């Protein structure tokens, strides 16, 4: 598993089940993670004595889901993605490891640990807007490299710098300036609820705190909630300017996956950055290395608005960490078109530069959809 590129690997074998813990942060997408897990276990068929394997998939050492497969009548693991069963409950496998560690039968050591290692990721940014009558669009092109570090289990520090290349927006955007600078913590709450807390600076010039919650139900649908308390922060020629951190935003919604068409329906109600409350619906179609979708919204300040988005996976798709610092491009490049060029109304911030509609915190059920459709 380590040779395949997985990090934070550990395993334990009982009389009936072999448990393998792996961290998939080395790979660029959920599909690539599942392909690598399947092929690696298939190659280990002769070594694994048990007929059943449970792979506990982690991200930044925080447990996300359990994948289970059994040997076929020939005595081999098939190596195909669709041979896996999936559960979003990890308590049983993690509990076994914790009990063994407590009595001294397992040292809990992670092999190929990602602790303290650095990812240097290059994010291109292209924006455009139509708010002037004398020109069709104003454009902005930036190169925004970021440093990402896993400090402890479930944590991630992100520090980003924005280098402007082309700027037709306001003059302050000509400056080299910080982008996302924050610390996030992933954890699970009793009841199989995934959570992520983030503090620092976000997109849309927001500074503050944010909390995300997601609860899967079955294999195809889930509910989520997000709340944030932020202020606005800008870097002018004269220095930093910011407003008090008192703008409260929230969102509650749910999504449903239609396997046959590789579709996700998403509906939410939200209080946006402009203090307007409204509803929004999204339809997302997944392809192997791309995503395309459409959205429609109505709020107190925006009569009707909509647009489209697409995300494209950027190679290399497999990227082992050979040194202490790993340099790579953004996993997905995304472009979003918004019909109405409003800056605050109907808009919500992002808490990480790698948040896209291709892979977000609120679509963890996408793992199961990949398995069922493969």
Task: Read off the pLDDT of residues 248-294 as tens digits, 9 standing for 90 and up.
Answer: 999 999 999 999 899 999 999 999 999 999 999 999 999 999 999 99
Q: Does 15 have pLDDT greater than 60?
A: yes
Instruction: Specify the pLDDT at position 132.
Output: 73
Query: Between the CA atoms of 137, 205, 193 and 313, what dihedral angle is there, to the nearest 10 degrees?
Result: 40
Chain centroid to Cα 34, Å, comes to 16
The DSSP result for 27-87, as a single string, is BSSHHHHHHHHHHHHHHTTTT--SSEEEEEEEETTEEEEEEEEE--TTSS----GGG-EEE
Tell whether the torsion through CA atoms of 130, 133, 136 and 141 is positive or negative.
Answer: negative
From the list 64, 49, 11, the residue with the least C-alpha distance to 368 is 64
pLDDT band at 108 (very low <50, low <70, confident <90, very high): low
Specify the 3-state DSSP secondary structure of 135: coil
Instruction: Specify the pLDDT at position 170.
Output: 83
Q: Does 3 have pLDDT greater than 60?
A: yes
DSSP E strands in 239-351: the ranges are 239-242, 247-258, 263-271, 277-286, 290-299, 305-313, 325-329, 332-338
CA–CA separation, 55 vs 36, rounded Å?
12
Instruction: Specify the pLDDT at position 303.
Output: 87
Q: Does 103 have pLDDT greater than 60?
A: no
Specify the 3-state DSSP secondary structure of 267: strand
pLDDT band at 105 (very low <50, low <70, confident <90, very high): low
pTM of the complete model: 0.91
The model's pLDDT over 283-332, given as tens digits with 9 standing for 90+, comes to 999 999 999 999 999 999 988 899 999 999 998 887 777 778 889 999 99
Instruction: Specify the pLDDT at position 209.
Output: 98
The whole-number average pLDDT for the span 40-63 is 90
Question: CA end-to-end span of the chain, whole Å?
Answer: 22
The model's pLDDT over 339-357, given as tens digits with 9 standing for 90+, comes to 887 888 999 999 999 999 9
Q: Does 92 have pLDDT greater than 80?
A: no
From the list 350, 7, 344, the residue with the least C-alpha distance to 184 is 350
């Amino acid at each position: 598993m380590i040779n395949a590129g997985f990090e934070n690997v550990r395993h334990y074998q009982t009389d009936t089940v072999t448990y393998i813990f792996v961290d998939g942060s080395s790979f660029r997408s959920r599909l690539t993670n599942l392909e690598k897990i399947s092929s690696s276990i298939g190659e280990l068929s002769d070594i694994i004595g048990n007929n059943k394997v449970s792979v506990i998939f982690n991200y930044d050492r925080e447990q996300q889901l359990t994948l289970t497969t059994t040997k076929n009548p020939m005595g081999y693991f098939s190596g195909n993605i669709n041979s896996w069963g999936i559960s979003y409950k990890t308590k049983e496998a993690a509990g076994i490891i914790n009990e063994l560690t407590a009595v001294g039968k397992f040292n809990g050591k992670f092999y190929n640990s990602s602790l303290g290692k650095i990812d240097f990721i290059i994010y291109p940014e292209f924006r455009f807007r139509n708010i002037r009558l004398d020109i069709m669009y104003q454009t902005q092109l930036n190169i925004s490299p970021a440093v990402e570090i896993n400090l402890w289990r479930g944590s991630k520090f992100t520090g980003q710098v924005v280098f402007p290349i082309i700027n037709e927006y306001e003059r302050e955007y000509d400056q080299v300036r910080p982008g996302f600078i924050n610390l996030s913590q992933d954890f699970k709450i009793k009841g199989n609820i995934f959570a992520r807390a983030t503090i620092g600076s976000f997109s849309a010039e927001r500074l503050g705190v944010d909390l995300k919650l997601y609860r899967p139900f079955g294999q195809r649908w889930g509910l989520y909630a997000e709340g944030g308390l932020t202020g606005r922060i800008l870097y002018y020629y004269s220095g930093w300017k910011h407003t008090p951190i008192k703008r409260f935003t929230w969102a509650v919604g749910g999504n449903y996956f239609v396997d046959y068409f590789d579709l996700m329906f998403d509906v939410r109600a939200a209080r946006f950055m402009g203090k307007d409350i409204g509803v929004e619906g999204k339809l997302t179609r997944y392809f192997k290395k791309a995503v395309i979708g459409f959205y429609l919204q109505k709020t107190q300040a925006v009569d009707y608005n909509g647009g489209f988005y697409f995300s494209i996976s950027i190679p290399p798709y497999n990227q082992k960490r050979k040194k202490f610092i790993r340099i790579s491009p953004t996993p997905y490049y995304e472009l979003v078109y918004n019909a109405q060029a409003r800056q605050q109304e109907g808009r919500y911030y992002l808490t990480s530069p790698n948040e896209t509609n291709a892979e977000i915190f609120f679509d963890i059920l996408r793992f199961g959809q990949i398995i069922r459709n493969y």
